[in-house]
């Protein structure tokens, strides 16, 4: 069973007046088959956690450890993390001009699997996944995210998730900018992957609406750069009713 272990993680970014610490000692363990929702206000460090785990160069790890099945994730390059089984669905997916969706997906699958998928099998696999996400097959020949709506970009992220089959999926505000129908379709895609029991999911969000579709095993409140409280799915309902004020003002820490 794959396990991602984050221990006392400290992360800084460069600011005008020098390095500014954003993560201030994060402890979190995610096992294959588990779904962890991380909730918190803007500026609390949720996205910093996501991008730090993926290896974004903007963020500097100043302390702590991150391991996947005992292997040091922080020593891996971005592509090594992806091959090891770490997947990031970005809040704002970027456009990749000149690279078609079909080429991007097959190249990514080849890198992760260690060999190119057999073309006939691959075409069926992609077509099936796109149908379930209600994506027009014509999208396969368009450039990655170029001219895509917000909902189309998010569906493409989940298409990658379904095809690449990572060990740990980090979903950074996947619900951002989605209408009700797109939210349902994207959530169903996430749930299909979760249903295999082969992925651990870190779901980062502000709001509880996506949790009506994706039921977490654990909910963590993020505030002031650390996890302030952890609990079961019922904690999300408390946050919906009471908000984050007590964590932000109180500076609570777990």
pLDDT of residue 253: 42
- For 185, residues 6+ apart whose C-beta sits below 8 A from its C-beta are 133, 134, 155
Residues β-bridged to residue 229: 221
Which tens digit of pLDDT belongs to each residue from 171-182? 999 988 889 999
The reported pLDDT for the residue numbered 251 is 55
Tell how far CA 138 is from the center of its chain: 26
Nearest one of 6, 75, 17, 78 to 45, comparing CA atoms: 6
Span 118-168, pLDDT tens digits: 988 999 999 999 999 999 988 889 999 988 888 899 999 999 999 999 999
Confidence of residue 249 (pLDDT cuts 50, 70, 90): confident
pLDDT of 250 reads 64
112-119 — which CB contacts under 8 Å span 24+ positions?
112/82, 112/83, 112/164, 112/165, 112/166
Cβ neighbours for 165, distance < 8 A, ≥ 6 positions apart: 112, 193, 196, 198, 199
Confidence band (pLDDT; 50, 70, 90) for 252?
A: very low
The whole-number pLDDT of residue 254 equals: 39
What CATH class is the domain 3-99+167-250? alpha beta
Average pLDDT for 207-233:
94
The model's pTM is 0.91
Q: What is the mean pLDDT of the chain?
A: 92
Q: How far apart are CA 41 and CA 86, in angstroms?
A: 25
How far apart are the C-alpha atoms of 138 and 197, rounded to whole Å?
A: 31
Question: What percentage of the chain exceeds 90 in pLDDT?
Answer: 76
Q: So what's the pLDDT on residue 185?
A: 94
Contact 61, 10 (CB under 8 A): yes
Domain ranges of the chain: 3-99+167-250
User: Do β-strands 35-39 and 218-223 pair in parallel, antiparallel, or remain unpaired?
Assistant: parallel
pLDDT the model gives residue 220:
97
Dihedral sign for Cα 32, 54, 204, 211, please: negative
**Mean pLDDT computed over 48-61:** 95
How, if at all, do strands 226-231 and 218-223 pair? antiparallel
Average pLDDT rounded to a whole number, residues 93-119: 91
pLDDT score recorded for residue 18: 87
Distances (CA, A) of 175 to 36, 151, 161, 230: 15, 9, 15, 21
pLDDT digits (tens, 9 = 90+) for 1-36: 789 999 999 999 988 888 999 999 999 999 999 999
Helix axes 119-132, 180-195, angle to 10 degrees: 130
Residue 111 backbone phi and psi in degrees, to 5? -65, -40
* Separation of alpha carbons 67 and 151, rounded Å: 32
* Predicted confidence (pLDDT) per residue in 63-86, tens digit: 999 999 999 999 999 999 999 999
What integer is the mean pLDDT of 220-238? 94
Bridge-based pairing state of the strands 143-144 and 96-100? antiparallel
**Residue 4 CB coordination number (10 Å):** 24
- Would the pLDDT of 104 be above 60? yes
Q: What was the pLDDT predicted at 17?
A: 86
| Beta carbons of 27 and 7 less than 8 angstroms apart | yes
């Amino acid at each position: 069973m794959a396990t991602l272990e984050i221990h006392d993680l400290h992360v800084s970014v460069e600011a005008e007046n020098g390095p500014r610490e954003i993560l201030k000692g994060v402890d979190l363990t995610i096992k294959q088959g588990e779904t962890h929702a991380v909730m918190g206000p803007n500026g609390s460090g949720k996205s910093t956690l996501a991008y730090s785990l993926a290896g974004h160069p903007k963020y500097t790890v100043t302390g702590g450890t991150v391991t996947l099945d005992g292997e040091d994730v922080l020593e891996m390059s971005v592509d090594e993390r992806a091959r090891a089984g770490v997947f990031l669905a970005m809040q704002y997916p970027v456009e990749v001009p000149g690279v078609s969706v079909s080429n991007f997906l097959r190249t990514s699958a080849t890198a992760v699997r260690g060999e190119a998928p057999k073309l006939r099998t691959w075409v069926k696999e992609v077509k099936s996944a796109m149908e379930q996400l209600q994506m027009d097959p014509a999208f396969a020949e368009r450039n990655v995210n170029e001219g895509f709506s917000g909902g189309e970009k998010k569906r493409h992220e989940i298409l990658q998730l379904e095809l690449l089959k990572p060990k740990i999926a980090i979903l950074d505000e996947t619900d951002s900018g989605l209408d009700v129908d797109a939210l349902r379709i994207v959530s169903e895609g996430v749930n299909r992957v979760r249903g295999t029991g082969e992925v651990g999911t870190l779901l980062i969000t502000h709001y509880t609406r996506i949790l009506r579709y994706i039921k977490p095993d654990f909910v963590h409140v993020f505030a002031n750069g650390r996890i302030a409280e952890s609990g079961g799915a019922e904690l999300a309902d408390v946050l919906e009713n009471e908000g984050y004020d007590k964590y932000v003002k109180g500076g609570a820490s777990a």
